[in-house]
């Protein structure tokens, strides 16, 4: 497999690096501190076409290959991890779900607006009582005439309060009264839908995470996504692609931690020399760089395989598992190199340390990734 970036991919990476340096980094600390959704940055990224990178030109997007999107998510995460997950959910979960499973009418209605950021999309799978175990979901959807009536609560929805539409999963009953999961496109302004709670999180403060309550929420029957009862496979299919996005977010966050650790080690003096002269510090830097490079290669490999059309569940889970665990090791070492100052909010490593913690949890915990990987290996 060839991991050399093409000219186009290099152009995109350089453009995003410049944008991150000039536009994202100067505002990152303030956005995180004030828990402010990065609306202005998203508008500027939309103007560059970034919100339409997974959407074909027929629907107003600039559809690139997956690796270009992942490089973009990596570079954005290097500047502001919160912003990276907002774009990842919008592109890899919301837009992809409609692109792959939507009707022509649904594609025409939602994708052109998603491509230019007129609507931001979210993905509402998790509930207060069920996360990993999607068969344990409890939100109900009942068909009445030409409407579905939804009742239940969706938890931990990234961009929940800022999105204008959700890919939302609920239980329907088939002809034999068996419970099956179905997927729906739900507009935020649907009657009976309300944002009831914003999570107070450990990190990723600029990414707003909401709980959504559906009380006799009425949506048109035409908003069913794919076939009734096929929701579980739609969710798992979308998560395969988006887990590569979380791997890319992990790589970018780790790279920033390494950048900061190297910078600090070259400036900080102890025992009459800068600390980069100590072998203990050098070894930590070597370990971090090796974690990052391994994670990046797994992320690139899964991206390339996705574009080749292959089944990628195992490869996406490997990339997500390794990159998210490596990010947590990397921020630990980078903070260690900062000594006591790493524990201060003055240095960005304190924020990265908190932001990294969620990477092994969302879009499938590390234990769930190991289940996916081992099931594939034992079946092969
Ligand atoms: C900041 C943030 C943003 C999020 N954004 C979204 C979003 O946009 N949309 C959305 O739908 N969800 C979102 N989530 C939810 C996230 O995907 C879930 O938290 C995650 O899937 C885990 O589910 P859970 O929290 O219910 O944990 P549980 O499933 O209750 O798991 C608890 C523990 O048990 C382990 N465990 C569970 N089952 C098994 C098993 N079979 N074998 C071994 N171990 C097991 C888990 O690994 C974990 O360690 C978000 C979460 C966070 C924190």
Q: Taking the chain, what is the end-to-end CA distance rounded to the nearest angstrom?
A: 21
Res 264 pLDDT > 80: yes
> pLDDT of 352-370, one tens digit each?
999 999 999 999 999 999 9
75 lines ligand 1 (CB under 6 A): no
Ligand 1 atom closest to Cα of 368?
47
Q: Whose CA is nearest to atom 16 of ligand 1?
A: 362
CB 194 within 8 A of CB 215: yes
Ligand 1 centroid to 131 CA: how many Å? 4
Q: Which of 172-176, 242-246, 363-367 has the lowest mean pLDDT?
A: 172-176
- Best residue for ligand 1 mutational test, from 365, 367, 369, 370 (most atoms within 8 Å of Cβ): 365
Confidence of residue 176 (pLDDT cuts 50, 70, 90): confident
Ligand 1 atom closest to Cα of 371?
42
358 lines ligand 1 (CB under 6 A): yes
Count other C-beta atoms under 10 Å from residue 169's C-beta: 25
Confidence of residue 146 (pLDDT cuts 50, 70, 90): very high
**Which pLDDT does position 177 carry in this prediction?**
85
Ligand 1 centroid to 340 CA: how many Å? 32
356 lines ligand 1 (CB under 6 A): no
What does residue 199 show for φ and ψ, rounded to 5 degrees?
-70, 140
CB 286 within 8 A of CB 278: no
Res 310 pLDDT > 90: no
Considering the chain, what is the average pLDDT of its residues? Answer: 97
59 lines ligand 1 (CB under 6 A): no
Res 175 pLDDT > 90: no
Average pLDDT over every residue of 123-130: 98
Confidence of residue 23 (pLDDT cuts 50, 70, 90): very high
**Which pLDDT does position 11 carry in this prediction?**
97
CB 159 within 8 A of CB 167: no
Average pLDDT over every residue of 156-174: 97
Q: Which residues contact 47 (CB under 8 A, 6 or more apart)?
A: none
Q: Given its phi and psi angles, is residue 205 left (phi above 0), alpha (psi -120 to 50 degrees) or beta?
A: alpha
Please tell me the pTM assigned to this model. Answer: 0.97
Confidence of residue 339 (pLDDT cuts 50, 70, 90): very high
Ligand 1 centroid to 132 CA: how many Å? 5
Q: Whose CA is nearest to atom 30 of ligand 1?
A: 131
124 lines ligand 1 (CB under 6 A): yes
Ligand 1 atom closest to Cα of 358?
53
131 lines ligand 1 (CB under 6 A): yes
> pLDDT of 182-240, one tens digit each?
999 999 999 999 999 999 999 999 999 999 999 999 999 999 999 999 999 999 999 99
Q: Whose CA is nearest to atom 48 of ligand 1?
A: 365
CB 319 within 8 A of CB 244: yes
93 lines ligand 1 (CB under 6 A): no
Average pLDDT over every residue of 320-328: 98
> In the chain, helix, strand, coil percent, each to 5?
60, 15, 25
Ligand 1 centroid to 372 CA: how many Å? 14
367 lines ligand 1 (CB under 6 A): yes
Residues classed as catalytic = 363
Ligand 1 atom closest to Cα of 122?
8
Ligand 1 atom closest to Cα of 366?
47
Res 380 pLDDT > 80: no
Res 8 pLDDT > 90: yes
**Which pLDDT does position 333 carry in this prediction?**
98
86 lines ligand 1 (CB under 6 A): no
CB 288 within 8 A of CB 317: no
Ligand 1 centroid to 376 CA: how many Å? 21
């Amino acid at each position: 497999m060839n991991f050399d970036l093409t000219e186009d991919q290099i152009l995109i990476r350089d453009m995003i690096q410049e944008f991150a340096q000039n536009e994202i980094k100067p505002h990152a600390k303030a956005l995180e501190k004030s828990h402010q959704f990065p609306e202005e940055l998203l508008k500027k990224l939309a103007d560059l076409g970034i919100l339409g990178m997974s959407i074909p030109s027929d629907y107003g997007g600039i559809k690139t290959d997956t690796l270009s999107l992942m490089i973009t998510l990596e570079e954005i995460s290097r500047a502001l991890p919160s912003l990276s997950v907002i774009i990842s959910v919008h592109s890899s979960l919301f837009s992809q779900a409609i692109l792959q499973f939507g009707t022509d009418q649904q594609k025409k209605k939602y994708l052109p607006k998603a491509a230019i950021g007129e609507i931001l999309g979210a993905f509402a799978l998790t509930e207060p009582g069920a996360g990993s175990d999607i068969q344990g979901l409890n939100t109900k959807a009942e068909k009445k005439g030409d409407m579905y009536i939804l009742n239940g609560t969706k938890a931990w929805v990234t961009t929940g309060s800022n999105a204008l539409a959700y890919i939302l999963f609920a239980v329907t009953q088939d002809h034999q009264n068996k419970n099956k999961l179905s997927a729906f496109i739900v507009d935020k302004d649907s009657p009976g839908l309300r944002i009831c709670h914003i999570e107070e999180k450990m990190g990723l403060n600029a990414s707003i995470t909401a709980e959504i309550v559906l009380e006799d929420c009425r949506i048109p029957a035409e908003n069913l996504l794919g076939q009734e009862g096929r929701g579980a496979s739609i969710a798992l299919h979308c998560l395969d692609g988006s887990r590569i996005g979380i791997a890319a977010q992990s790589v970018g966050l780790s790279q920033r931690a390494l950048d900061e650790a190297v910078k600090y080690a070259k400036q900080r003096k102890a025992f009459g020399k800068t600390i980069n002269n100590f072998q203990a510090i050098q070894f930590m830097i070597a370990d971090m760089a090796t974690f990052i490079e391994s994670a990046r290669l797994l992320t690139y490999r899964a991206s390339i395989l996705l574009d080749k059309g292959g089944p990628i569940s195992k490869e996406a889970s490997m990339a997500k598992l390794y990159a998210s665990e490596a990010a947590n090791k990397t921020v630990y070492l980078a903070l260690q190199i900062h000594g006591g100052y790493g524990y201060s909010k003055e240095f960005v490593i304190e924020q990265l340390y908190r932001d990294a913690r969620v990477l092994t949890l969302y879009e499938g915990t590390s234990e769930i990734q190991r289940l996916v990987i081992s099931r594939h290996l034992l079946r092969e």
